[in-house]
Amino acid sequence: MTERDGAGTIDTTALRELLDGRWAAVRGQARKLLRGPEFAPVYGLGVDEHRTRVSGQLRALAGTRLSGHGFSSDHGGSGDVGASVVAFEMLVCDLSLMVKVGVQWGLFGGAVQALGTERHHAAYLRDVMSVELPGCFAMTETGHGSDVQRLRTTATFDPETDEFVVHTPDEAARKDYIGNAARDGRMAVVFAQLVTGGERHGVHALMVPLRDASGRPMPGVRIEDCGPKAGLNGVDNGRLWFDRVRVPRTSLLNRYGDVDAEGRYSSPIENANRRFFTMLGTLIRGRISVAGGAGTATKAALAIAVRYGEARHQFDRPGGGGEVPLLDYLTHQRRLLPALAKSYALHFAQEELVSRLHESVTGGPLDDRGQRELEARAAGLKAVATWHATHTIQTCREACGGAGYLSENRLPQLKADTDVFTTFEGDNTVLLQLVAKGLLTNYRQEFGSLDTLGTARFVAGQFFEAVIERTAARSLIERLVNAAPGRDEDANLFDRGWQCKLLEDREEHVLEGLARRLRKPGADAFSMFNDAQDHVLLAGRAHVERIALEAFVAGVERVSDEGTRAVLNRLCDLYALSVIEADRAWFLEHERLTPARSKAITTAVNALCGRLRPHALDLVGAFGLNDEWLAAPIALGAEAARQEPRSRAQAPR
Amino acid sequence: MTERDGAGTIDTTALRELLDGRWAAVRGQARKLLRGPEFAPVYGLGVDEHRTRVSGQLRALAGTRLSGHGFSSDHGGSGDVGASVVAFEMLVCDLSLMVKVGVQWGLFGGAVQALGTERHHAAYLRDVMSVELPGCFAMTETGHGSDVQRLRTTATFDPETDEFVVHTPDEAARKDYIGNAARDGRMAVVFAQLVTGGERHGVHALMVPLRDASGRPMPGVRIEDCGPKAGLNGVDNGRLWFDRVRVPRTSLLNRYGDVDAEGRYSSPIENANRRFFTMLGTLIRGRISVAGGAGTATKAALAIAVRYGEARHQFDRPGGGGEVPLLDYLTHQRRLLPALAKSYALHFAQEELVSRLHESVTGGPLDDRGQRELEARAAGLKAVATWHATHTIQTCREACGGAGYLSENRLPQLKADTDVFTTFEGDNTVLLQLVAKGLLTNYRQEFGSLDTLGTARFVAGQFFEAVIERTAARSLIERLVNAAPGRDEDANLFDRGWQCKLLEDREEHVLEGLARRLRKPGADAFSMFNDAQDHVLLAGRAHVERIALEAFVAGVERVSDEGTRAVLNRLCDLYALSVIEADRAWFLEHERLTPARSKAITTAVNALCGRLRPHALDLVGAFGLNDEWLAAPIALGAEAARQEPRSRAQAPR
């Protein structure tokens, strides 16, 4: 439904194209491919049945173009990294399939591609793509998840036999939560402490066979099922123990570290710490994919809740006019529409991030700072997007009442499946700290020698050029910011430059304060960092919220249809002002907002909700999610039909 | 583990006794009774298997004292309403059992008890208690959940046969989400529009047989399974349609409305609206029980997460000292400890509410205002406690990382099972509006005739006496508030009087503003109310947060052990200050806090987290939840064992 209210009229095709973006073709493929009973969402399956179904789906996709995007064209792939991330995020018909694909082609295959060399590529990649070789990414251990550097599994070189001995020394070192391990995996990329000649060289990855052709565990390999989980029960997560398992020396994925037949270790990267982080850095695709997948699941939930909120009526309108659609209630708008605006912001930010990742692979290696920025952004967006998913899907469930609790309406599965997204591929709390650390490194490189507050303030004008990564929209944003009124109180709340300036200013202030705080002498290192931990998280979040706003602004810039742009501009206002509203205590504490202006922001958010409400159906429609992926009867006409005794029934489109 | 840090030392027995409170004996019974394999938490069961298990558990409890608390002693019950609510909340071993018990003895049996008369009590109550007669509470319809007054099922009197004809006129009128309906229920209390002689008398309840002795649906009754749900799959929710089903006239639960053989309607309550709300009012026990059940589930999640946070170590302490327990991290404390403080506050508020409910039943009917206050408090606590559960259990899951996602560690089930608590027994958003409406009614009765702002301000000094219900701790609170410094800036943040005054002041200001706002002439009724909806919700929340603080203060007052009291006082500080911190934007906007003081509150919350951290294990231990109810291996030594390679391993007690 498209109504006119002065905010504009959405051209639904134009908006869909904008959101489909650079990899529109991949989205189109997925929409065509993921149809019919084979890919329809399911619920209520037993664990075994669900795993069988998802394994079958994975194999069915192996014959399609979706399988090869992440792999080099020399070995049958298309070498289109961006496409691989976008393909992953489209697998919303069953998030178990999404994660299964992510394990096989993203983590397992991706590690072979990124950490291996030609001999591994030639030996494995075709079988990875065809799923002839189902594989695992065996990094996490029971005792060490976030702290990968402290993994305890060992891979000790034995020059006598020219083999590595892979070993699990204790219970804390068992591999845990490993996707594809409990049922399907034949081989694993195992991360272990590399030891040769008694010397340790840090964490490296090796190809280790798990099961023989008949599916029996290889000698020395013990496998256990992790059992039922909150969600994602179509993925067979398991635990692995290695009892002095021997693999040939060539099993080492040796792009960043090699051992010769005499047991001599060599690496193109001298510094062990740097080597470790370089290896990890090649694996950020998984993190970026998770942010995208969380985004699609959130969109699906919003599409269901908005359609239901439009069809469902409850309580008579005082003064007559029949029962009121839920979406007419301010509280209902408040629950769904700012979340919808944030989904748009994160969508544009994700698109920009995927493009950057793609360039970084196809355009040659980034410099240190570029790599650091890419990693910080991947970490930050992953954390913010997955928390947004957890929060928003929960809200959508509640907004659909009892109907939202029924499995048939998909929200329970979306919630349960995405729940672990905040944990895997990096715990969100740890990731936001990585963001802040990346920013602090830039900051110190620029201002490290300037020790007094005065000097730092003097150069603060160059803060954004010096410290903060350049975004695609940087010049546009600068123009907007410079055009904003000098005195904040004069600015219109809807002035985009003022909004951007406010978020920039917060980021700068928080980061400067943090840099000063962590430079203080005296306190012991742990206390100093720990006491500032909430400050650190704020720095990470402030950064992501600012870049998401800038990405949104740049996205709106790309629409030529005027009506659509007008609506998106209101939606961008809603994102900016609801972000500011949520943290208005900070802006008040730091006297960036007066009390009166702070209240005015809440009033403005309410007003924006009212103005955008008529466009809500179009805005979720533009996500382009197949109806059969939404699956929920309440989103596909059942609720409207039930409301038919009243003449006002509206069918969702 | 009990450490001393100057805050005090907890006497764990004294604390347990304090929390066990007035119905300690019931808690003790439950701890003894709910043991062994029959009542152990389970996961991964199929829907049928789970339903069978829970039905069996229900029957097993039927022989115990737990079944009769809610029923009058004339018919074999113990007539101890408070005990019935406390018994319900102890059923945390499986929340499906909790809800199944709630349906059978709380909703179904409770409706017979409260809405029926002697003939119904004599005919049914014994069989309700023994589960000879499994029953349903068939109120909600697909088309009307929150708006009970608009239910569409009809019960039309036919004087020819002296029967009521119960009928489902359309799809919107089918009964939905009805517990016990899909499998076990033999009879239902059906809520329907009563019609006699062509005249409608509003919603009334009737006893309608659903299935015959062999379990087949009765003629004219259609039953459908709601199918799998996000959680609570041990409860057989279903849908019911009635096709002109005839029941004897005496099936009407006729305490508040009766029809004689000639079809003449009579009621002890003249006004139809008032009659409806009186009938609903008798059913608030379910709402209060849900708040309690949500509380226990939250406590279980906190117990698991705190034990894990103590046992789990990650990342080396900078400067040496081995790996850091998660609970040493500020962010981890921030996630768990304010939630723990709030659980204590809500526990004390719940205890007070249950006592009031109990008095209202055993001590004779309340006056209008007393009943309104009881209902407002039940609605408010239910909303706040169930949202607290949703939020906190989610946080606990995340705080346990990948381990928290495994079903074996219980958090997934606790999350999924409690998810619908925010919806059933009254949607939380609707309930908070009820709270505000109750307060506004008191307000209008006192100040309704005073139309100008000035007059209202003049009497504002009597606001709390006049408008706000008296809590048990009222005189204590008044003393504290009066002793607080006159100028806010002079007050210590830890001054209890200042904290109470701040929350009182917010409640008063929000309510006064709302009363003025809703009195404005001009706007159409819907817009006026709808535009203020966020203000209405704030009024409800501010009220509940204030009464929870007062209940906490009164609770601390009851401990005689000094060390325990000292720790609880710090925990009460943490509750008060984290509530203030969460809404500090409001206090800044309304100039109740200066920016500097607002920042100081955040600093104080951080400091309190650090001081309470050594007591966290004791504080969750005092909830007195059997280890076998927690069930999670990570909370019962597995994590500590895994950490053994480090010498610092600590076993939870």
CATH number at residue A318: 1.20.140.10
Is the pLDDT at B1 greater than 50? The verdict is no
Strand B265-266 relative to strand B313-316, pairing: unpaired
Instruction: For residue A223, give the nearest of A268, A188, A250, A197 by alpha carbon.
Output: A188
Distance between CA A46 and CA A616 in Å, rounded?
36
Instruction: Using pLDDT thresholds of 50, 70 and 90, give the confidence band for residue B7.
Output: low
Tens digit of each residue's pLDDT (9 = 90 or more) over A218-265: 999 999 999 999 999 999 999 999 999 999 999 999 999 999 999 999
CB distance A406–B150 less than 8 Å? no
Given B272, B295, B311, the domain boundary residue is B272
- pLDDT, position B620: 98
Task: Give Rg (Cα) of chain B.
Answer: 26
CATH code of the domain covering residue A84 = 1.10.540.10
- pLDDT, position A651: 33
Q: Looking at beta carbons, which residues of chain A come within 8 Å of B590?
A: 595
The answer on A191 and A262 residing in a single domain is yes
Is the pLDDT at A649 greater than 50? The verdict is no
Instruction: Using pLDDT thresholds of 50, 70 and 90, give the confidence band for residue B2.
Output: very low
Q: In this structure, are residues A224 and A242 in contact, taking their beta carbons and an 8 Å threshold? A: no
CA distances from B127 to B62, B76, B133 (A): 10, 10, 5
Q: In this structure, are residues A627 and A317 in contact, taking their beta carbons and an 8 Å threshold? A: no
The answer on B122 and B262 residing in a single domain is no
Tens digit of each residue's pLDDT (9 = 90 or more) over A307-335: 999 999 999 988 788 999 999 999 999 99
- pLDDT, position B473: 74
Q: A602: Cβ–Cβ under 8 A, 6 or more apart, which residues?
A: A581, A584, B534
Three-class DSSP category at B516: helix
The answer on B440 and B566 residing in a single domain is yes
Question: Which of A329, A419, A538, A647 should one mutate to test binding to chain B, selecting the residue with the greatest count of B CBs within 10 A?
Answer: A419
Alpha helix locations (H) across A406-491?
Answer: 411-418, 428-447, 453-458, 463-466, 474-483
Instruction: Using pLDDT thresholds of 50, 70 and 90, give the confidence band for residue B281.
Output: confident
Confirm whether A612 is domain-assigned.
yes
Q: B428: Cβ–Cβ under 8 A, 6 or more apart, which residues?
A: A398, B382, B383, B386, B387, B422
Instruction: Using pLDDT thresholds of 50, 70 and 90, give the confidence band for residue B485.
Output: confident
Percent of chain A with pLDDT over 70: 92
Confirm whether A116 is domain-assigned.
yes
Tell me the longest C-alpha to C-alpha distance in chain B.
90
Task: Return mean pLDDT, chain B.
Answer: 92
The answer on B561 and B461 residing in a single domain is yes
What integer is the mean pLDDT of A124-148?
A: 96
Cross-chain CB nearest to A172 (options B152, B316, B645): B645
- pLDDT, position B519: 79
Is the pLDDT at A461 greater than 80? The verdict is no
Distance between CA B515 and CA B508 in Å, rounded?
10
Confirm whether B171 is domain-assigned.
yes
Three-class DSSP category at A201: strand
Three-class DSSP category at A175: strand
Cross-chain CB nearest to B641 (options A46, A171, A427): A171
Q: In this structure, are residues A175 and A209 in contact, taking their beta carbons and an 8 Å threshold? A: no
Distance between CA A164 and CA A160 in Å, rounded?
10
The answer on B92 and B145 residing in a single domain is no
Could you count the other beta carbons within 10 Å of the beta carbon of residue A103? 27
Q: In this structure, are residues B366 and B360 in contact, taking their beta carbons and an 8 Å threshold? A: yes
Q: Looking at beta carbons, which residues of chain A come within 8 Å of B152?
A: 645
Confirm whether B634 is domain-assigned.
no
The answer on A218 and A81 residing in a single domain is no
Q: In this structure, what DSSP letter does residue A425 have? A: T
Confirm whether A585 is domain-assigned.
yes
Q: B607: Cβ–Cβ under 8 A, 6 or more apart, which residues?
A: none
- pLDDT, position A1: 35
CA distances from B489 to A12, A209, B579, B588, B593 (A): 55, 68, 19, 13, 8
Q: Tell the burial category of A216 from Cβ atoms under 10 Å away from its Cβ (0-12, 13-18, 19+).
A: exposed
A143 touches chain B (CB under 8 A): yes
Q: B465: Cβ–Cβ under 8 A, 6 or more apart, which residues?
A: none
The answer on A334 and A264 residing in a single domain is no
Cross-chain CB nearest to A595 (options B415, B588, B643): B588
Q: In this structure, are residues B549 and B504 in contact, taking their beta carbons and an 8 Å threshold? A: no
CB distance B598–A590 less than 8 Å? no
Given A76, A105, A130, the domain boundary residue is A130
The answer on B125 and B148 residing in a single domain is no
Is the pLDDT at A595 greater than 60? The verdict is yes
Is the pLDDT at B652 greater than 50? The verdict is no
CB distance B318–A529 less than 8 Å? yes
ipTM of the complex: 0.95
Query: Where is average pLDDT lowest: A3-7, A184-188, A386-390, B409-413?
Result: A3-7
Most confident stretch, A176-185, A466-475, B475-484: A176-185
Residues 522-551 of B with CB under 8 A from A: 524-526, 529-531, 533-534, 537
Find residue B242's DSSP bridge partners.
B221
Find residue B156's DSSP bridge partners.
B165, B195
CB distance B401–A584 less than 8 Å? no
Three-class DSSP category at B651: coil
Is the pLDDT at A79 greater than 80? The verdict is yes
Q: Looking at beta carbons, which residues of chain B come within 8 Å of A171?
A: 641-642, 644
Q: How many domains does chain A have?
A: 3
Find residue A253's DSSP bridge partners.
none
CATH code of the domain covering residue A231 = 2.40.110.10
What integer is the mean pLDDT of A139-149?
A: 94
Confirm whether B164 is domain-assigned.
yes
Confirm whether A10 is domain-assigned.
no
The answer on A314 and A165 residing in a single domain is no
The answer on B518 and B398 residing in a single domain is yes
The answer on A196 and A101 residing in a single domain is no
Smallest Cα distance from B429 to chain A, Å:
8
* DSSP, residue by residue, A94-157: -HHHHHHHIIIIIIIHHHHHHH--HHHHHHHHHHHHHTSS-EEEE--BSS-SS-GGG---EEEE
Token pair of A515 as six digits: 């840099």
Instruction: Look up the domain containing B88 and give its range.
Output: 18-130
A315 touches chain B (CB under 8 A): yes
Is the pLDDT at A448 greater than 70? The verdict is no
Given A251, A272, A293, the domain boundary residue is A272
Closest residue in B to A321 (Cα) is B526
Percent of chain A with pLDDT over 90: 82
Task: Return mean pLDDT, chain A.
Answer: 92
The answer on B414 and B302 residing in a single domain is yes
Residue recorded with tokens 């590529």: A121
Smallest Cα distance from B231 to chain A, Å:
8
Confirm whether A630 is domain-assigned.
no
CA distances from B358 to B82, B285, B379 (A): 5, 10, 16
Distance between CA B337 and CA B331 in Å, rounded?
10
